[in-house]
Structure 1
């Protein structure tokens, strides 16, 4: 794994030697957690069970789910819904995990829809995998450490559920962050709301429909800012859950909202960078291969730059891409614009040997599917690249973690 660096005359602090060292140090943990492609998988009548890499930090992790309702907005994707509903998962350093069960990556209902929807989009095996059986390393509703921690929001890729960001979120939480992964209902492939499963309205690539793309990104930005509003209520001692579900002890006391970052993948990366530009509460952002321009109105013409690219970032911004992204040429215009106009505050890096979905849990899952004979080598390369997960997983985790550790010191 090699990182190319540029931006503002200095790099991201990640080089060939650091990446190699991280890969060697993390390999044993990844193999123990199931990140390696050659691991024998548990098989049942429902299919194999995929494993997520173990986090490497010193803290045990708690996790809880928030159902948040924004009554100031109508749902942009469904005219029959008069409010905007958002689901969020909070990962945090736990005081103790005694008696608290480990959470599953997906609920049974969401996993069933995932099997029907996501497998078609990403050429995953339609059978042979028990998607509901994958466990996380986080314990449900464990009491939080009553220590103020930096808060990070995560927005997943376009059409993806927040659950596919578990690997990085757990790593960040194990190293002392509170991480809030955000679903965007109507955009995400499937979201389990209190009233049932809601499926995506997206069909195909939103970049081919300028108005659809504009709505998707605008909604994501508004969702992130709304979640941050509700976290302020939580930190002030109120319960932001719309149904008033009991929250883990001391969760509000774990939030340091003077240190807020946001990161996202693909469309989530677009939203992360622009949300930081629009909201002064956000101190740093990571864009994992997201465009910084609107979809072009006509084929062959450039799209309108988002304000963050048009005017530049005035707070730290990391642009992290992959060698294998097929639309690198389209990405270059907007990334070059923000790099040129940010006075060194924006930097970029590249993961060689990787492809676009290496930033999601697929980085660990796809090699396991290939090893089990459920995914071809070509499909794995298209999804995450040929890079070994013992290299790619720590590389992505370390890039995001070191960036926020440097820029959200306090």
Structure 2
């Protein structure tokens, strides 16, 4: 099967989006997953049955110039991807969220991401992180987030991320975070670690670490695939019982774990029928890829607006109610 080049459509938000990659190095902390013999598992999705070159054929549109003026005062939102998965697999979602009026900072966590190439050409491949080390991975990610927030509050940090703006620092005292899978667990852990993070959303990730027992004070969203609820995940049930602030749990029918990434949307753009690739269908579910993409980014953006105090609950409730695929499993009393 041949694959033609595909450009991801511009998001529907009112703002155009600028994209840039930066390397930030924390010299005072040793990464616990920094072995000298890390392994890289290549051609993963080719092994699942995607035609060669499928993902390389995709590009997305972005503004050539960084934001200036009042755009630099947009709220900062941090994103953390799934275990072993590059942030690049979430670019379309991040772009759509950013177009609603946010500065979205997506992180790749060294030695966790399968293959990470920095802008200077240096490469870090994944360590063999065991199941028993996942709580440490979550804590390490939370520390990564705190460091990045520290950098974004400085002139040098902004110069790396948004070159040419001359900004003294972004607004980092009141930010939000969302993450997928282990990134969702890291969102809760980072929110517990750093009070600058006032709202968080976990997209389909089981919970780890002290935050499960200690809970959180700020708004939090649990957003799960079909049958991913408190009934099927005991960590969600315990975490939910300890949340002291506003909380909402949503379940989406006909989707599976990686429907919270760009993957089903990209397959739809490439006109690759998921039902003909069983291994991929098990990863993303049967819901139309464009519909699932819309459900994820619109509800995440709506939650961020409420969680950051920009809107009331009404826009979020209205967005949730637009989709028959979404069930409200639990909400604040």
Paired residues for 1:7-406 under 5 Å:
47-79=3-35, 116-119=42-45, 123-125=48-50, 127-129=52-54, 131-147=55-71, 148-193=73-118, 194-202=120-128, 206=130, 209-210=131-132, 212-233=133-154, 238-240=155-157, 247-250=162-165, 252=167, 255-293=170-208, 306-323=209-226, 332-343=233-244, 345-368=246-269, 371-372=271-272, 376-406=276-306
Alignment RMSD, CA only?
2.8
> How big is the shift at 1:316?
0.6
Distance 1:254 1:246 in 2: 11
- Residue by residue over 1:51-91, the C-alpha shift from the partner in whole angstroms, topping out at 9 and shown as x without a partner, is 4353111111111111101001123222569xxxxxxxxxx
- State the secondary structure of the residue aligned to 1:138: coil
2:325 corresponding residue in structure 1: none
Distance 2:273 2:211 in 1: 44
Relative to structure 1, the CA distance from residue 347 to residue 64 in structure 2 (aligned partners, 3 Å threshold; closer, same or farther) is: same
Structure that is richer in strand per residue:
1
- State the secondary structure of the residue aligned to 2:52: coil
Q: Is the 8 A contact 2:215 2:243 kept in 1?
A: yes
* Match for residue 408 of structure 1 among 302, 308, 324: 308
- Residue by residue over 1:244-301, the C-alpha shift from the partner in whole angstroms, topping out at 9 and shown as x without a partner, is 76943337368322330011000100000111011111010000011113xxxxxxxx
Distance 1:350 1:189 in 2: 29
Relative to structure 1, the CA distance from residue 139 to residue 186 in structure 2 (aligned partners, 3 Å threshold; closer, same or farther) is: same
Q: Is the 8 A contact 1:161 1:189 kept in 2?
A: yes
Distance 1:357 1:63 in 2: 23
Relative to structure 1, the CA distance from residue 317 to residue 220 in structure 2 (aligned partners, 3 Å threshold; closer, same or farther) is: same
> How big is the shift at 1:125?
1.9
- Residue by residue over 1:350-369, the C-alpha shift from the partner in whole angstroms, topping out at 9 and shown as x without a partner, is 11111100111112023455
Q: Is the 8 A contact 1:283 1:316 kept in 2?
A: yes
Q: How many residues align?
A: 306
2:329 corresponding residue in structure 1: none
Distance 2:82 2:166 in 1: 27
Q: Which of 1 and 2 has higher RCO (CA within 8 Å, sep 6+)?
A: 1
- Residue by residue over 1:135-189, the C-alpha shift from the partner in whole angstroms, topping out at 9 and shown as x without a partner, is 2222344343434111000000000001111122111211110000000111101
Structure 2: segments with no counterpart, 5+ residues: 311-333
Distance 1:50 1:348 in 2: 35
Structure 1: segments with no counterpart, 5+ residues: 1-40, 82-112, 294-305
